[in-house]
Amino acid sequence: MSKSKLVVTPVQACSAAPLVRRALTEQHAGELASAFKALSDPVRLRLLSSIASREGQEACVCDLSTGIDLTQPTISHHLKVLREAGLLVSERRASWVYYRVVPEALQRLSEVLLVESGAGVDA
Amino acid sequence: MSKSKLVVTPVQACSAAPLVRRALTEQHAGELASAFKALSDPVRLRLLSSIASREGQEACVCDLSTGIDLTQPTISHHLKVLREAGLLVSERRASWVYYRVVPEALQRLSEVLLVESGAGVDA
């Protein structure tokens, strides 16, 4: 697990204009790079996908270690990175923390990578 | 500029099933994480977007330093990372190298992040 500090901007704040439509500004590129950095770890992708593919796109942290050979603190660290990137939200209920996907954040990143017909308008 | 070695799998090889549809396998998560790692740097995103937004989604390396305050070798390093991730292809013509976007690779990543209605079928 990487201990490097990840400075992130929640992806909800990013514009969703496809990067094939116009060249990204420096600020927008920085925001998007943070979001993609949160997705650049296989464990985080598996955790996100595990939550996203469940009914209600939600899971108890107690159910997320199945099939992932990592300690609970490591899993919690990765979930925190995804939360700080705006891809998950968390809520405590009694003894457990539940994580839910932010579909708008995934959708926004999906749209940024979208290849539209008629792209390439800038010279 | 990061000197860390990036081991990547060209994203063309990855399945494009949305991660909200079913939990990712370990192998697939590793492949996707490599692609997202290539996108996790603001300079690489700006270069990719700069190429993708041009006519023909292609650019000469000689035109890519405009507005990016980096040396040519650093820019070439970032372009190589994008190429190794399968997001760009390159071709030498006379004295210059030209880079072209691989739209299928961007589209595949876009589809992986797609949020479909009716998602969340796994328990």
pLDDT of B2 reads 45
Q: For residue B84, what pLDDT band results from cuts at 50, 70 and 90?
A: very high
Q: Give A37's contacts in chain B (Cβ within 8 Å).
A: 36-37, 40
Nearest to A53 among B30, B36, B120 (CB): B120
Question: Who wins on pLDDT, A3 or B91?
Answer: B91
Alpha-carbon distance of B71 to B64, in angstroms, equals 11
The CA-atom distances, in angstroms, between B109 and each of A40, B11, B85 are 12, 8, 12
Categorise residue A55: left if φ over 0, alpha if ψ from -120 to 50, beta otherwise: beta
Question: Who wins on pLDDT, B98 or A6?
Answer: B98
ipTM of the complex: 0.83
Encode B44-86 in three state secondary structure: HHHHHHHHHCEHHHEEEHHHCCCCCCCCHHHHHHHHHHHHHCC
What is the pairing mode between strands A96-101 and B58-60? unpaired
> Which residue intervals of chain A are DSSP H helices?
26-38, 42-52, 72-84, 103-112
Long-range contacts of B89-98 (CB under 8 A, 24+ apart): B96/B60, B96/B61, B96/B62, B97/B60, B97/B61, B98/B58, B98/B59, B98/B60, B98/B61
pLDDT of A12 reads 57
- Asked whether the beta carbons of B110 and A114 are under 8 A apart, the reply is yes
Query: Please, what is the end-to-end C-alpha distance for chain A in angstroms?
Result: 42
Mean pLDDT for B91-97 is 93
Alpha-carbon distance of A15 to A13, in angstroms, equals 7
Question: Who wins on pLDDT, A2 or B11?
Answer: B11
Mean pLDDT for B14-21 is 76
What is the pairing mode between strands A96-101 and A88-93? antiparallel
**CB B40 to CB A40 under 8 A?**
yes
What's the angle, vertex CA B55, arms to CA B54 and CA B60, rounded to 5? 65
**CB B120 to CB A40 under 8 A?**
no
**CB A23 to CB B50 under 8 A?**
yes
B98 forms beta bridges with B60, B91
Residue A43, C-beta contacts closer than 8 angstroms, at least 6 positions apart = A1, A68, A70, A74, A75, A78, B29
**CB B20 to CB A55 under 8 A?**
no
- What distance in Å separates residue B86's CA from the closest CA in chain A? 14
Q: Give B65's contacts in chain A (Cβ within 8 Å).
A: none
pLDDT of A67 reads 77
At residue B86, φ and ψ (nearest 5 deg) are 85, 10
- What distance in Å separates residue B77's CA from the closest CA in chain A? 17
Mean pLDDT for B17-35 is 89
Is residue B60 over pLDDT 50? yes
pLDDT of B14 reads 58
Is residue B87 over pLDDT 60? yes
Q: In terms of CA atoms, which chain B residue is nearest residue A106?
A: B113
Q: Which CATH architecture has domain A27-117?
A: Orthogonal Bundle (1.10)
Question: Consecutive 10-residue runs of chain A (123 residues): their mean pLDDT?
Answer: 51 70 88 96 95 92 85 94 97 94 94 72 40
pLDDT of B122 reads 42
Q: Give A56's contacts in chain B (Cβ within 8 Å).
A: 120
Which residue, B14, B44, B39, is CA-closest to B29? B14
Which pTM was predicted? 0.83
pLDDT of A10 reads 63
